[in-house]
Structure 1
C-alpha cells in the first residue's frame, strides 16, 4: 500500500513555509524555464508574497492557466487575492512580476472546493482555472503558447514530468524544478479516500510554491508544451506528491474560464 497522503502543499507566504521533506531533490529544468509554465504571485501583506505555480492551457480566449484550488482559496483566506499575476517562463526576478506578468482577471474554483469544510474532505476538488487579462493587446497564449488539457480518465504507465517553483529550503522559489516518473493513478486501498483518483509520484521533494504546478505528459521541447493531466495538490513528509486530475465536471468550469 502507498503512504497515505494528506499534508497539503498550501499556498502560503514565504514567511510561513514549512521544513522540506527528506527525499530525492527535484532537478533544475534543462534549459532553465518552460514558456508555458510559470509562477503565480500576489502581495500577501506584511511585506510577504504569496506564491503558486501554474501552466497555460489551450482555450478559446487564449487566456487560461490551470492551477490548484488551494492557490485561490483556503480556510484562512476564503477569498482569492484581489491583485495577482501569472509570470510565464519565470526566472529569477520577483521585483518585476507586475511588469513581466499577466494580471489575473478572475479565479474559477469548483463548487466542491468548500473552504468551510476540512481540507481532507474537499481534496478531490483541488483544481482551478485562472482567466488572465490581455497585456499590450495580446493574450498569454499568443505570446507564450499553451499546453493541451485533458480530463479524466488519465492514461497510466506513461512518463510524466511534475513542474513547479518550490520555495522551501533548499529551494528559493526562483528557479523551475521538476520530478519525473511513470503516471500512476491511486486506486481504492492505495491511499486514504481524499486522494483516491489522484496521481502519485514517489521520491519527489517539490514543496510549497510548487502548488498548482502542472503534471505534463508528452512534453515537446520544440513547442515548449505538452499535455497537462493534473496539477500539484498535496505532498507527504517522506517524498510522495499527489496531482489532482480534472474530472468530467471540470469541463463546465474550464468553459467559464476560457469563454
Structure 2
C-alpha cells in the first residue's frame, strides 16, 4: 500500500496548514538556486516499462517535509501566481500544528539535500467528501505555498506541469515519485512510463502496473506528454494508492479537482 503509514501520521501532527481555506503563513524559507545544473530525467521511450527506473532530478517534483522527516510526493502545477502544488488528499490528513513544507528536487541519503530550498505551505484544499468520509474518489489535494525569502514563486524557480481537467481514462503516462528510504536509501526519484486504463474495480480510478512505487510515492504526478524536466506535459492526476508496489491508482482530475485548484490559487 502507498497510503500514509502510522509513523508518517505521527509526523503529520507536526505540520501546519489550514484545510479548505487560506491560512496564516510565517516567513518563507529561502530557495537558493543550485550551483550546478540538475541532471535531467531521460525522456520516456516508446516501450512500456514494467518497473520504474531512476529519474534523475526533476526540479518541479519533490517531497512534503515536516521537521527533518519527509513523506509523500508532490509537484508544482501551473497557476497564475506560480504557488500551487498537487498531492494526494491522504497526505494531508491530521495536519494541524507546526510547519509543513515542500522540497522540490529533493535528493540524497539520510536527511537529504534541498537544492531549491523548502517552500512553506500556507493552505490546503481537499474535497469535503474526503474530510468527512475519506472518499477514495476525491483523493487529491491542492496546496498553496508562500514565496521564498527573495519573493519568488516556486514555479518561477523549478517550473510546473499544466493541469488537465478533462483527460480520458486510456493514457500513456510518466509517473515520477519518491519511495521512502526502506526502498530508496539515496532518496532519489523514480519514473515509469506506461499505459494506464480505468480500474475495473474502482470506476473513478486509473490503474497502473509498474513496479517500484512503494510508500512515499503517494501524490506522484501522472504526466501525459512528458519529455523531460523542462517539458513536463500535462498532469491528469496524482498517485493515490495501490495494493502492492506494482499496482498503483490515481483519480482523474475533473471539475471537482478544478474547483479545489481554483480555491488554492486564491488562498
Give the TM bin, normalised by the shorter chain.
0.7 to 0.9
Aligned with 1:137 (options 151, 161, 165):
151
Give structure 2 stretches of 5+ with no counterpart: 11-49
| Equivalent-residue separation in structure 1 for 2:87 and 2:253 (angstroms) | 11
Q: Report if the CA contact (8 A) 1:185-1:200 is conserved.
A: yes
For 2:255, what is the secondary structure of its paired residue?
coil
Aligned to 1:62: 82
Seen in structure 2, the aligned counterparts of structure 1 residues 71 and 238 have a Cα distance that, compared at 3 Å, is closer
Aligned with 2:190 (options 170, 177, 181):
177
| Equivalent-residue separation in structure 1 for 2:76 and 2:99 (angstroms) | 19
TM-score, normalisation: structure 2: 0.76
Seen in structure 2, the aligned counterparts of structure 1 residues 67 and 132 have a Cα distance that, compared at 3 Å, is same
Aligned to 2:19: none
1:113 aligned onto 2:130:
yes
RMSD: 2.5
Q: What are the within-5 Å matches in structure 2 for residues 30-41 of structure 1? A: 32-41=56-65
TM-score, normalisation: structure 1: 0.78
For 1:208, what is the secondary structure of its paired residue?
coil
Aligned with 1:26 (options 48, 52, 70):
52
| Equivalent-residue separation in structure 1 for 2:9 and 2:263 (angstroms) | 34
Seen in structure 2, the aligned counterparts of structure 1 residues 238 and 96 have a Cα distance that, compared at 3 Å, is closer
Aligned to 2:4: 10
Seen in structure 2, the aligned counterparts of structure 1 residues 172 and 95 have a Cα distance that, compared at 3 Å, is closer
Q: What are the within-5 Å matches in structure 2 for residues 147-166 of structure 1? A: 147-152=161-166, 154-166=167-179
1:230 aligned onto 2:237:
yes
Q: Report if the CA contact (8 A) 2:103-2:114 is conserved.
A: yes
For 1:184, what is the secondary structure of its paired residue?
strand
Q: Deviations over 1:4-52 (max 9, x none)?
A: xxx5522654699xxxxxxx642111xx111211111113xxxx72411
Give structure 1 stretches of 5+ with no counterpart: 1-6, 17-23
